[in-house]
Amino acid sequence: MSDEALDLQSLRRRARRALTSGELSLADLNLPPDLSMERLVEDLRIHQAELEIQNQELTESRDRIEVERGRYRALFEGLPVPALVINRMGVVEQANQAAADFFGFRASRALRRHSVFRLFSDRGGNWFGPAMERAGRGGEPSLTERIGVLRADGQEVPMDCYALNPGLGYHADRHTLLLLVDRSAEREHDRQRAFYGALMDNSEALIYAFDLAGRCLLMNPAAARAFGVAESTVLGKTRTECMQGETARYEARMDRRALYGREPITEELRRRLADGSEALLMVVRFALRDEQGEVFAVAVIATDVTAQRRMQSRLDLATEIFSRGSEAILITDAGNRVIFANAAFEHISGYRAAEIAGRNPLSLVSERHDRPFFLEIKKHLARDGYWEGEVWPRRVGGETYPAWLRISRVRSGSDQEMHHVLVIRDISKEKMAEEEIQRLAYFDMLTGTPNRYLLKDRVAQAVRSSIRTGAQFALAFLDLDRFKEVNDVHGHETGDRLLVHFARRLRESLREEDTVCRLGGDEFVLLLKGIDRIDARERLERVLSETTQPFSIGGNSHQVSASIGVAMFPDDGDGFDELLKNADTAMYQAKAAGRDQCSFFHADMAVAASSSAQIEADLREKLKNDDFYLVYQPQIDLATGAVVGLEALLRWRANDLDSAPGPGEFIPVAEQSGLIVPLGNWVIERVARQIAAWEQAGSEALTVAINVAAEQFWRESFLASVTERMEQAGIEPARVVLELTERTAMKMPTEAAEIMRSLNARNIRLALDDFGTGYSSLSYLKRFPLQFLKIDRSFVADLAENQDDQAICRAIIQVAHALGMKVLAEGVETTAQEAFLRGAGCDFAQGFLYAPGLGPEELALWLKQRRLATA
């Protein structure tokens, strides 16, 4: 283009501007001569049109931009997820309402100028810079997954962050749009899936599901083990591939029922598992539905309740026992408040369960028990976990009664809370029976005076008192002269009444501290305490004078006299037996001297058959030479007459039978000398050998009773010694019954009971010998694990005529049966004794009525003859 043309264009532009702006007129333009006015005006008009067109385009463009910006703002504000526009420094320049709500701002504009880094739990970490760089390059949005974003309440929320170029007026190199998408639900879903997966994998319940085509959709490890299939390969398999035929058919049938039922099907069934065991399963079967409510499968949850049902059965049984048992039972909570009382408690005490609920059970105990008594219970409970003993509770009406109480501490299985279980047994009847036995055992039924056993105890007390004080006492043996004539002439009833009057007169003629005892028949013993020989003679002479006065009985006058023998302690003996024997000797001397007089013992009266020293020496020699032997006395079932057992009796072998001492002579010497233990072991060993010999010969299997001495029983090695000898002989312990005396058992009752239980545990049965002659208490007797109770021969000897002995025997039999024991009477010699014992319910008997002690050969012949006689 020429310079002229350029000048012309420049001139035109100036003219248009000047004219348009109104700064100058055409005259002021100083137009060149060759440029006409018409041309210039035309050019101006053209330019004005161009300007108008450009202005219209600009207006339309601005309108379009405003529309787009409005759409952007609406889209931005309407986004359901938090959206932020940040600059290159990470400062928020724009935020939508979702972001304001999420981050806890009232309005979106309040977020402006906040640093975006404060909104991330890791302050952007290593991901923010690269994300911004990728977004700045344009193209696809930059995604960063699962970043931690802090919500308004401070909780970290997992979110996906999309970073992209916003456009629409924002420069790509200066601004970035961040979109935050909440992934909490997905994380919770992942957690739930992991949770339910862990439940499935670790559950002991059988969980499985089959679709409508009968193919496995789900099976946990427990179910796979139960059906004997591999969990990893079971999915997609049919029922018949997963289960045995009958089980598969049953499952298919039950699944069809579940498909058409709206409620789950619950059932209990027994099923044999893959390992061969049988389980009781609680099965819940239900349909699975999709989102449209269509059934697509049936699921089963089967829980093995075998152990629970077994435990429930035991609990039901225990509850039934508690509720219906004869013993009262109370259970307390940790605060010792009653939370359970059974029907027996209501029956015994008269209290209803509701009345005792919440109370301390010891509040029912009567004032007989003081504070130290309860402290002792508390101490035992803390130390041993239990206490038992006799208490006297009150019934609902205030009446007290004797009871045997056992308290045990127990912890509950669920919360380990400490409870107390109280078992209460009313022993009123036992107490009455015990008192009756005490009366029968220690008092004469006819005269009401102490009998031999109580006298023996009082003499023992007098001995101890005299040793402490140095005082003497006298033991006088009194026998009525010619009393038999009264019975023969006037009858036994008159004789008994005479004895009652005579005993009363004796008591009246003595001091309060003295004792009058009737031994039996017409024999009495007087214990005069704190008296010397002179005073004793004077007092006994007065007794003779008063007792010889006539007695008026049944309108008739009866006069009797008495002979008295006296032994003084300590001159004439140091114990009951020796004093009584010497007093008896002196009494016979008085009778020999003419009756109706008093005679004091002196040494010349004692004529011993053999000295104890000689017997001890002979004992040692016999043991060394094995010079003893055993005989066996049969024991008879009174109901059937059958031979049920034998008692082994020790005998002394001697060339001169007349000089051989009996057991009553050499056994006491053996006990005093300590030879009773080796002698007892010899007996047990020989009995065991004999039983083994009988077994080998095919003889009848009879139990054999062996008497055990106190010193032998209390040896630590006793249990092992008995067991060892039976094992060596190769016999069953059940073939042996060990007999203990009352005195042996009552020496240390608790320890004795423990030894007895150990013997029972080895199948060795026990009998209490000579029952009624000692000092046994029913409260202890019931604790001894005894199988037999033997009535002493002293109660059997006069059984046909003596009502006292009859009453004692009945009481012993009733008590023994109440305690679950069998009763055997020894010393039965007459059919009258046998008839009474059979009628009283006695189980077994032995004595000369049936047979004496027999050697093995004699016994075999006797058994054969008895079988023939009873056949």
Please write the tens of the pLDDT for every residue from 62-80.
777 676 666 767 777 777 8
Between residues 140 and 744, the one the model is more confident about: 744
User: Roughly what angle, to the nearest 10 degrees, separates helices 428-442 and 452-469?
Assistant: 80
pLDDT of the residue at 12: 55
pLDDT of the residue at 844: 97
What Cα–Cα distance (Å) separates residue 289 from each residue in 258, 683, 709, 840? 12, 85, 84, 80
Question: Tokens at residue 400, please?
Answer: 């007290």
In this prediction, residue 502 has a pLDDT band, given cuts at 50, 70 and 90, of very high
Neighbours of 194 (CB within 10 A): 10
Checking if the pLDDT of 4 tops 80, the result is no
Terminal C-alpha separation, the chain: 166
- In whole angstroms, give the CA distance from residue 854 to residue 321: 49
83 contacts 178 by C-beta, under 8 angstroms: yes
Mean pLDDT over 40-45 rounds to 72
Exposed / middle / buried, residue 215 (Cβ in 10 Å: 0-12, 13-18, 19+): middle
Give the residues across from 295 on adjacent strands.
Answer: 289
Mean pLDDT of the chain: 83
- In whole angstroms, give the CA distance from residue 475 to residue 531: 10
pLDDT of the residue at 772: 65
Single-letter code of the amino acid located at 618: D
Helix, strand or coil, per DSSP, at residue 276:
coil
pLDDT of the residue at 661: 80
Cα-trace Rg, the chain: 57
What residue ranges in 83-205 does DSSP mark as E strands?
83-87, 92-95, 142-150, 156-164, 175-182
Between residues 485 and 481, the one the model is more confident about: 481
**Percent of the chain at pLDDT above 70?**
87
Mean pLDDT over 130-135 rounds to 74
In this prediction, residue 801 has a pLDDT band, given cuts at 50, 70 and 90, of confident
Neighbours of 198 (CB within 10 A): 10
The phi and psi torsions of 841 (rounded to 5 degrees) equal: 95, 10
Between residues 665 and 621, the one the model is more confident about: 621
- In whole angstroms, give the CA distance from residue 745 to residue 789: 13
Sheet holding 295-304, edge to edge: 216-219, 206-211, 295-304, 278-289, 265-272
pLDDT of the residue at 841: 95
Nearest residue to 472 (alpha-carbon basis) of 534, 512, 525, 532 = 532
Mean pLDDT over 212-240 rounds to 88
Checking if the pLDDT of 707 tops 80, the result is yes
pLDDT of the residue at 170: 47
579 contacts 567 by C-beta, under 8 angstroms: yes
Cα–Cα–Cα angle for 482, 487, 490, rounded to 5 degrees:
115
Between residues 771 and 755, the one the model is more confident about: 755
- Which H or E run contains 299? strand 295-304
Least confident piece of the model among 65-74, 440-449, 456-465, 470-479: 65-74
Mean pLDDT over 374-392 rounds to 89
pLDDT of the residue at 482: 72
DSSP string, 649-674: EEEE--SSGGGPPPHHHHHHHHHHHT
Mean pLDDT over 283-294 rounds to 87
Question: Tokens at residue 162, please?
Answer: 């999309």
Least confident piece of the model among 85-99, 520-534, 567-581, 717-731: 85-99
The reply to whether the predicted model has a pTM over 0.85 is no
Question: Tokens at residue 515, please?
Answer: 């004792």
SS (H, E, C) 372-395: HHHHHHHHHHHHHCEEEEEECEEC
In this prediction, residue 342 has a pLDDT band, given cuts at 50, 70 and 90, of confident
